[in-house]
Amino acid sequence: MPIHHLTNSWILETDHTAYAFGLDSGGRLVNFYWGERLLSPSDYPTQASSQNWASFSNAGQLAREEYPAETGLKYIEPCFKAYYADGVRDTVLEFEKAEVQGAELRIHLMDALEHLGIILHYRLHETYDLIERWAEVTNRGETAITLERVLSAQWHLPRKRSYRLSHLYGRWADEWNIKREALAVGKKILESRRITTSHHGQPWFAVDGGTANEEQGEVWFGALAWSGNWKFIAETTEFGATRLSLGLNDWDFAWRLKPGESFSTPAAIYGYTHNGYGEASRRLHDYTREQVLPNGKTLRKVLYNSWEATTFDVDETSQVELAKLAAEMGVELFVMDDGWFHGRKDDHAGLGDWWPDEKKFPRGLKPLIEQVNALGMDFGLWVEPEMVNPDSELYRSHPDWVIHFPQRKRSEARNQLILNFACADVQDYILEKLDTILAENNIRFIKWDMNRNASEPGWDTAPGDPRELWVRYVQGVYRVWGILRQRHPQVTWQTCSGGGGRVDLGILRLADQAWVSDNTEPTARLNIQEGYSQVFPACTMEAWVTDMGSEYLPLEFRMHVSMCGALGIGGHLVNWGAERRAEAAKWIARYKEIRPVVQFGDLYRLRSPQQDSYSALMYVSKDRKEAVLFAFRTHQPFIPQLEPQAPVYPRGLDPQANYAVEGYEEVRSGLGWMRIGIELFLEDYQSTILHIRQVE
Ligand code: DGJ
């Protein structure tokens, strides 16, 4: 029984962790424990006092509240703030009741004066050692309520320790940098205000006591399943307490909740491990593959993408030429990127007009698709449904459909504006256009791109508060995408936003894989992939070999980097020449052999490329019968011959079983290989893949 109910307290147990909370002596819902699973329910603390001990250090300020609302003498970051019709901006949440249904606990809280109900949902994912939580707010009164902040969760870390926060930051073409920094008194705020998850940060955190590493140490971690504006706050008080909050960004946020209506926050997923960052990632990977992704157990195909080869200059002849070469190399899915639709010569025109360009494709897309299919490949297409160029038929007929303030200039980025996906007619128009393309053509893959962020966030026809735009827009995208997914189940979907600008556990309920960055230079890609892997599994990580880096990196190195994820090719195959294509074909064949282990195995990051110019990682199959180890050396300062490079120590093998490592004669136990390591000598810009197999 994973949920224990004791008097006024609840203990949520997963296979190895526990989370306990309950009512304190003042009736507040407070956290008692978050950490390793203990031996019995009586081991957990189940009480807290709500004593004031100074006029300036009130109990509310100090309490470890599960879902603090803005009220009383406390100056901490609340989860909830509302503005009521009677002018009150204070919410007093009292415990009403608790319900347990299977693996879900619901705690009902209520502000009786303002007739506001909040249900805190906790859903246990026991085998993943994760808990999902979200809040559902209901207006039970007779007047509208304006919600000003509704976060998904607040967590409290054990007291009297110092903590270190790990998070991801970046920018376009440089996403997924890992930052580890000590949390000091005050607040560390991370957020997106861009209407997407953004290249600049990720709604994910991992907090440790300062000494955790990939294998060891306590790590408390979490992520938000949301693809729009988000906010993370790590607040360390003068009393040495650290609380973490995560949810929708309250910046420029408001939501008018009419009588009888409810508002649900996105879910936050969180966990604890004492086995370091590596284990935290593996928990998220398994959960994402098995609980979030629509088809997490389907192998991702090797794809070819035309973007870096032909950019906007696509037509039937050029694409068929590329497709023939791709098919010869063993590619399974041919994706035509940008440039195929009405009026699209460059990035100044066409977005919004989702039908084939009459000059480039006078016979429509069908003949191209048929030829691609005849070559034995599936066909995929690029779209950017949320966008419109002012130079388009759509914008000329509906200039009012974009996000804008009518009185103000509309800032363009990449010569485009954003369609207001909060509006039903915009959603329906796009739905109809994409539906038609998918119904009329044998399309098996859609790359859904999004190439700018929001500005002038006006919505003058909003039925409620115009600031609902930020949330309703994302809900609109989810709606359109969800309907298309349902109507066209044969399609695999990729999320892209100028690279990795919209990857999160929300969009991965709709998208099967993600374009991680527009930066395909392989040495940069090693860093990008390491950062991405903190949260997301390899099967979602589309990785193409393009022409970037080809002047100084061997093809083998470039292929190896991309073989760490869902392999794709994006170079100009005509220019590659027969020899390079033959070599790439060999690597594609090799990838197909190891792909089940890469895409479905457990990831062990052995040496960080963000910290070391000699990096390594490995994937181990779930039954531990085989593993694939990748090692890369970029540039290292001269190492004298007598000082060998340190061995790479594999991890995740069955200590008792025997393993043979490709290229090495000796057979050792898993324990032996993990303790003795594998001596690997790599020159600058050399890389290797070692297949490791269990033997009798
Ligand atoms: C940005 C994407 O990240 C690229 O891969 C490519 O699809 C371009 N957009 C096309 O405009």
Predicted local confidence at residue 643, as pLDDT: 54
Collect all residues with Cβ–Cβ distance below 8 Å to 576 and sequence separation of at least 6. 325, 584
Q: Whose CA is nearest to atom 4 of ligand 1?
A: 498
| Residue 670 host element (H or E) | helix 670-676
Q: Which of 111, 337, 338, 449 is catalytic?
A: 449
648: left (phi over 0), alpha (psi -120 to 50) or beta: beta
Testing ligand 1's pocket by substitution, the residue of 174, 338, 386 carrying the most ligand atoms inside 8 A of its CB is 338
Residue 286 is a catalytic residue? no
- In 37-115, the DSSP E strands lie at 80-83, 94-101, 104-111
- Residue 61 alpha carbon to ligand 1 centre in Å: 48
Q: Are strands 626-633 and 614-620 parallel, antiparallel or unpaired?
A: antiparallel
Q: Check: pTM over 0.85? Answer yes or no.
A: yes
Q: Whose CA is nearest to atom 6 of ligand 1?
A: 307
Q: Which residues line ligand 1 (CB under 6 A)?
A: 307, 337-338, 382, 449, 451, 496, 498-499, 515, 518
Q: In sequence order, which ranges of 511-572 are alpha helices (DSSP H)?
A: 522-532, 555-563
* Alpha-carbon torsion angle 605, 610, 613, 614, nearest 10: 0
Residue 449 is a catalytic residue? yes
* Residue whose C-alpha is closest to residue 305's, from 339, 276, 280: 339
CA 237 – CA 282 distance, rounded (Å): 31
- Residue 359 alpha carbon to ligand 1 centre in Å: 22
Predicted local confidence at residue 640, as pLDDT: 60
Contact 494, 503 (CB under 8 A): no
Q: Are strands 230-236 and 242-248 parallel, antiparallel or unpaired?
A: antiparallel
Nearest atom in ligand 1 to 515's CA: 3
Contact 554, 522 (CB under 8 A): no
Amino acid (one-letter) located at 399? P
CB-based burial, 213-241: b 16+ in 10 Å, e otherwise: ebebbbbbbbbbbbbbbbbbbbbbbeeeb
Q: Whose CA is nearest to atom 10 of ligand 1?
A: 338
Q: Is 370 helix (H, G, I), strand (E, B) or coil?
A: helix
Paired residues of 263 in beta bridges: 137
472: its two tokens: 């309703």
- Residue 493 alpha carbon to ligand 1 centre in Å: 15
- Residue 498 alpha carbon to ligand 1 centre in Å: 5
- Residue 384 alpha carbon to ligand 1 centre in Å: 9
Q: In sequence order, which ranges of 137-203 are alpha helices (DSSP H)?
A: none
| Residue 436 host element (H or E) | helix 424-440
Testing ligand 1's pocket by substitution, the residue of 346, 518, 548 carrying the most ligand atoms inside 8 A of its CB is 518
* Residue whose C-alpha is closest to residue 368's, from 321, 302, 436, 308: 321
* Residue whose C-alpha is closest to residue 613's, from 532, 682, 533: 682
Predicted local confidence at residue 644, as pLDDT: 59
Predicted local confidence at residue 110, as pLDDT: 98
DSSP state of 538: G
- Residue 542 alpha carbon to ligand 1 centre in Å: 13
CB-based burial, 123-161: b 16+ in 10 Å, e otherwise: bbbeebbbbbbbbbbbbebeebbbbbbbbbbbbbbeeee
201: its two tokens: 């940060």
Q: How far is CA 33 from CA 10, 58, 67, 76, in A?
A: 10, 22, 15, 20
Q: Which of 208, 337, 518, 602 is catalytic?
A: 518
Nearest atom in ligand 1 to 447's CA: 7
CB-based burial, 539-573: b 16+ in 10 Å, e otherwise: bbbbbbbbebbbeebebbbbbbbbbbbbbbbbbeb
Testing ligand 1's pocket by substitution, the residue of 450, 453, 496, 497 carrying the most ligand atoms inside 8 A of its CB is 496
CA 622 – CA 297 distance, rounded (Å): 13
- Residue 499 alpha carbon to ligand 1 centre in Å: 7
Q: Which stretches in the chain have pLDDT values below 50?
A: none
Q: Whose CA is nearest to atom 2 of ligand 1?
A: 498
